[in-house]
Amino acid sequence: MPDKAFHFGVFEVNAAAGELRKNGTRIKIQEQPFQILLLLLNRPGEIVGREEIRARLWSENTFVDFDKAISNAVRRLREALNDNADTPRFIETVARRGYRFVGLMAAPLTAPVKPPPKRIKSFAIAAGALLLLFGSAGWWLLSRPKPNPAPLTPIPLTAAHWMGEPSQLLSRWQSACLRVA
């Protein structure tokens, strides 16, 4: 069941991604406590023996103090879940036998649980960039010097200007321009 996801309390577990989330925020958890949590979540309400936990966490050729290592891993798991051994909400110790998941679980989800996207932050950045762009463009347009063009003076074109040789037309037109200016 590596693609399974679990939901209990404010927590979500994505087995495939190896993630524990609280209200959508990822919680750091080491591999051994996470594997114990998966064992317990796959059998809610049932006792998972210390020997089964040992077999899941370590190979046959491993030589460690299993009882102490399991107890430490369960303690780290409880810390990640803000759980207490004296008044357990999620992980209950069954003396000399093992552990049991006692929390209320929602139905297992088949799709991985993802945190909600943070689109508000992206929208705010985009809106700020557009505001800066349009503000800069407006400031540039309003603060640049205004051109002061000379007023245009119309030149009358009469039939007299158009009579005669084409070479004379140019000189007549130029002299008319000079007189106006």
Q: Radius of gyration over alpha carbons of the chain, in Å?
A: 41
Tokens of 158: 């009469």
CA distance 76 to 145: 69
Query: Do 49 and 24 meet the contact criterion of CB atoms below 8 Å apart?
Result: no
pLDDT in tens, the chain (181 residues): 456 788 888 889 888 888 999 988 998 999 888 989 989 988 888 988 888 888 888 777 777 777 788 888 889 999 999 988 888 888 898 888 899 989 888 765 555 556 666 667 777 888 889 999 999 988 888 887 777 777 777 766 665 555 666 666 666 667 666 655 5
Domain 5-101 belongs in CATH node 1.10.1040.10:
no
Query: Dihedral of CA 149/151/153/154: which sign?
Result: positive
Please report the pLDDT score of residue 34 as a whole number.
92
Tokens of 79: 């810390």
**Amino acid occupying residue 84:** N
Tell me the pTM. 0.56
CA distance 51 to 36: 12
Closest CA to 8 of 77, 107, 116, 98: 107
Query: Dihedral of CA 86/87/90/92: which sign?
Result: positive
List 13's β-bridge partners, or say none. 6, 20
Please report the pLDDT score of residue 118 as a whole number.
64
Please report the pLDDT score of residue 158 as a whole number.
62
